[in-house]
Structure 1
Amino acid sequence: MLKTMSPPHISKLTFATLLFPLALVLFEFAVYLGNDLIQPAMLGVTRDFGVSSSWAPSSMSFYLLGGGCIAWLMGPLSDRIGRKKILLAGALFFAITCLLILFTQNIQSFLGLRFLQGMGLTVISAVGYAAVQENFEERTAIKVMAIMGNMTLFAPLLGPLVGSLMIDHVSWHWGFVGIAILALLGWLGLKVAMPADQKANLTQKPMSSIWSDFKTVFNNKQFVIMTSALPMACLPIMLWIALSPVMLVENLGFSGLQYGMAQVPVLGALILGSVILVKIIDKYPLGQTILFGLPTMLVGALIILIGLFIPTYFVWTLIMGMTIMSFGEGICFSVLYRLAMMSSDVSKGTVASAMSMIMMFSYFVVLEVSRMLFEAYDLMAFSLCSLALVLMWFTLPRTMLKKVMVERKEKGQF
């Protein structure tokens, strides 16, 4: 039987209330660096293992697949034994796998360890984010998620710069050493700062009830549609992170420094969008920023596509279009995430796990398909994949969002 969950009690942001999110951010930063720092260094990895650079995007897709495969367990387990225990175990496991990858001898074992490292993504999304949503009032939770997003965005901002330097000057092995150290610091911060789980928030249901809980979640049409919209919003930027080392360095002849600098406006716009979201979230009905952000992303995707027909200016239209798309994602993703998670009344660990499964497997499939298309059709494939993802949001997700906003208005929810 599910005990009554204590309502969120934190509505104001102070240094004391932010200690736990800040500790979670440190671990999250390490996990994101596990992709954003390593991805540009993959050209060095493939060179060391004597394989084609076409293997480079697989590092990211296997990382995401690892997160998706364990998602079904992490959230429900944290519902039963506590979020803190799972977070601490996950941070320690992630650090260990980062050290083990130093001893790999071929691309297959490397990708195997990348799969295991990806489980850290699910620990954050299915356990850490659920804890944030439970402990903070609705709009405060969105602000906390946006602030966390701003801080972790330094990973994709700094990661490419450091990763590109590793290509030219040092071994990629040092990247994993640094990531492991950050993860261990995050583990220590969570151990000290994360509140102990309240027994009232833990379910007494047996583990055998997991499947019925998931069935309830996945039978919820609103949940499925709103969660499916999340990859549509963030996958274009993930495609950029996965493919830009090949696009910019190999295809367009960028140096390591030029590649790193090209990331600054794109990922800086993501930070700017999140900052603006925190400033305006209390002024507009929840969901309004999504109705602005996704059309903004569409404009960016169209600019990239147009640039293909103006080869002289393609680099500029590519970076400009990605910058606009990043800004659009920044002002809508945290709100979209909140609305998706609150679409179901099932315990939030299970809901967050279901979200992780949909998102991680979507990431894996789209990234691998895009990689194969990119090998065959080059920059045209990247442009059309980005455009198609954004256009998909204007179907069922947009209709569902408007329906949710109308229902919230009828209930007097701003």
Structure 2
Amino acid sequence: MFPVSLVLFELIVYITNDMMQPAMVEVVKYFHAGIEWIPTSLTAYLSGGMCLQWLFGPLSDKYGRRPIMFFGVCFFIFSCLLITFTVNIKQFILVRFLQGMGLCFIGTVGYTTIQESYDEKTCIKLIAIMANIALSAPLFGPLGGAFIIKICPWQGMFVGFSLIALLSLIGLFNFMPEPPINKKNNITSINLFKNYKFLFKDFKFLCGAFSIGFANVPLIVWIAISPVILMSKDKLTMLSYAILQMPVFIGLIFGNFTLSFLSKLKNLEDLIKFAGKPLVIGLILAVCSMFIKVHSSLFLTTSLGIYAFGLGIANPCLTRITLFTNNFRKGSVSAIMGMITILILISNIEFSKKIFLWKGVNAFNFLNMLNGFLWLFFIILFFKQNRNNLLLLNNIKKK
């Protein structure tokens, strides 16, 4: 019941964004703001998810995962209710930033507890299953958002989100385990600096963290900017927009199902290498959509679906292997991983928005392909560093 309660909170944190992205067209109209605020909503959300991970990770190492997780869920519920009182777009974006802090607790606290509580094979299978449940947010979120915004004000969505988050809080309170706590951890600014300095000097860890960030960029920037591409530029209806999202997230779900099956047969490194082919090929095909004159939007989303299939396999494996590249406290390691990933995502969302508004969808697709090649570059460095470490270890053993 702990994974069920955690994935319910993850689902509602994600769906808060995925249902709001199509509804953002109505939100900017409500506040009499421009369409450039639509991607900014996701930027603010991710910024909130990054800003305090550096603190919540060490706090959960010292005081335990449970109390930090409870605080995070309660704060998310409060922010969902607070946003209904906003009166202009700037206040709305500020509260979206506060809501995004809920992301801090999913990876840094919740999934770290999963990683610590299960062996590698069980953990990978469990995370793949949880990911499939969580992925119903981006798959059905746009459809749900498009439907709900027609029958009730956007403020009503957030009241519903807060009620579902309350159910998650009850489940976590009753079922969340508490891994062993090291109360000797002394959380001071000097110690935090020393700890994070150690992690930033770990080249292999950094390669893994950067590869996670660049792998996720095309998916996240698509979620952020696709309402502008499909509804504002191509003049599609909200329903057509939601339907066109389906190939992307179906690909992601199939990737996770494939991972669940292949995890019994292959090691993590082989799974990542296997996933790299569809991940990069899908982004190359997305660039080729510029040559398609008919149904180019469908070709684009299908190409991104191929990319997403590879991402669904690679992401859980890469997260696991990067988290355990060293013996450092996992709350702190997860926090830095999350911060690096979200910083890469935020910078790419804003840059992609400017590139799209300047040069259109073709330049947007080219930038996504470039991020795919950056993932490939860092993953090659990651595995090369891993082999060097193994050779060094074998030489020490021989001596």
- Do Structure 1 and Structure 2 share a fold, with TM-score over 0.5? yes
Residues 116 and 179 of structure 2 are in contact (CA less than 8 Å); yes or no, is this contact kept in structure 1?
Answer: no
C-alpha deviation, 1:203, in angstroms: 4.1
Q: What is the TM-score normalised by the length of structure 2?
A: 0.94
Pairwise CA distance, 1:407: 5.7
Within a 5 Å distance, the mapping from 1:213-228 to structure 2 comes to 213-228=195-210
Q: 239-248 or 402-411: which moved more?
A: 402-411
Q: 8 Å contact 2:50–2:342 — kept in the other structure?
A: yes
Counterpart selection for 1:63 from 32, 37, 45: 45
Letter in 1 for 2:346: F
1:351-407: per-residue Cα shift (whole Å, max 9, x none)?
111111111111111111111111111212320121011011222322322542686
How far off its partner does 1:219 sit? 0.9
Q: Which amino acid aligns with 2:273?
A: L
Letter in 2 for 1:318: L
CA contact (8 A) 1:168 1:256 kept: no
Instruction: Choose which of 263, 285, 309 in structure 2 pairs with 1:303.
Output: 285
1:262 corresponds to 2:239: no
Q: What pairs up with 1:319-358 in 2 under 5 angstroms?
A: 319-358=301-340
1:165 to 141, 144, 147: 147
CA shift for structure 1 position 79: 0.5
Match of 2:397 in 1: none
Q: Report the Cα distance in structure 1 between the residues aligned to 2:271 and 2:179, rounded to whole angstroms.
A: 33
Q: Which residue of 2 aligns with 1:272?
A: 254
Residues 134-169 of structure 1 deviation map (CA, whole Å, 9 limit, x = unaligned): 111112111121111111001101110011224444
- Contact 1:167–1:256 (Cα < 8 Å) also in 2: no
Aligned residue in 2 for 1:189: 171
Q: CA deviation digits over 1:254-295, x for unaligned, max 9?
A: 212211111222101101110110111121122212112222
How far the C-alpha of 1:106 sits from its partner, in A, is: 0.7
Distance 2:157 2:131 in 1: 22
Identity of aligned residues (%): 35
Q: Report the counterpart of residue 182 of structure 2 in structure 1.
A: 202
Contact 1:307 1:313 in 2 (8 A): no
Which stretch shifts more, 224-233 or 310-319? 310-319
**Corresponding residue to 2:274 among 286, 292, 296:** 292
Name the SS for the 2:268 alignment partner: coil
Structure 1, unmatched stretches of 5+, are: 1-18
Deviations 1:171-226 (A, max 9, x none): 2112211211111111111001111343xx32412111222111111110011110
Distance 1:378 1:95 in 2: 38
TM-score by length of 1: 0.91
Structure-2 change in CA distance of 1:357 and 1:83 (3 Å):
same
Q: Please give the alpha-carbon distance, in whole angstroms, between the structure 2 residues aligned to 1:88 and 1:224.
A: 30
Shift of 1:77: 0.3
Distance 1:42 1:266 in 2: 20
The counterpart of 1:242, out of the listed 205, 224, 233, is 224
**In 2, distance between residues paired with 1:408 and 1:252?**
52
Residues 286 and 405 in structure 1, CA contact (< 8 A), matched pair in contact too: no
Q: Distance in 2 between matches of 1:406 and 1:154?
A: 40
**Aligned counterparts of 2:385 and 2:339: Cα–Cα separation in 1:** 25
Query: Structure 2 CA distance, aligned partners of 1:409 and 1:106?
Result: 59
1:86-126 deviation per Cα after TM superposition (whole angstroms, max 9, x unaligned)? 00110010011011000001111111101111111011111
Q: Which amino acid aligns with 2:101?
A: M
| Paired position in structure 1 for 2:27 | 45
Counterparts in 2 of 1:160 and 1:409: CA distance versus 1, 3 Å: farther
2: CA distance, partners of 1:179 / 1:202: 35
- Structure 2 counterpart of 1:136: 118
Unmatched tracts of structure 2, length 5 or more = 395-399
* Equivalent-residue separation in structure 2 for 1:323 and 1:159 (angstroms): 17
CA separation of 1:182/1:408 partners in 2, compared to 1, >3 Å: closer, same or farther? Answer: farther
Paired residues of 1:287 and 1:405 also in contact (CA < 8 A): no
Residue 207 of structure 1 aligns with an amino acid whose one-letter code is I
Whole-Å separation in 2 of the counterparts to 1:239 and 1:173: 25
What is the match of residue 11 of structure 1?
none
- 1:321 to 1:154, Cα distance in 2 relative to 1, 3 A: same
Q: Distance in 1 between matches of 2:35 and 2:385?
A: 45
2:363 to 376, 381, 391: 381
Q: Work out the number of aligned pairs and report it.
A: 392
Q: Compute the displacement of 1:311 (Å).
A: 2.4
Q: Quick one: which amino acid aligns to residue 204 of structure 1?
A: K
CA RMSD of aligned residues (A): 1.7
Distance 1:133 1:122 in 2: 16
Rounded to whole Å, the distance in 2 between the matches of 1:316 and 1:264 is: 10
**C-alpha distance after superposition, 1:235-260 (max 9, x if no partner):** 11111111111111121222122111
Bigger shift: 263-272 or 201-210? 201-210
Amino acid at match of 1:287: E
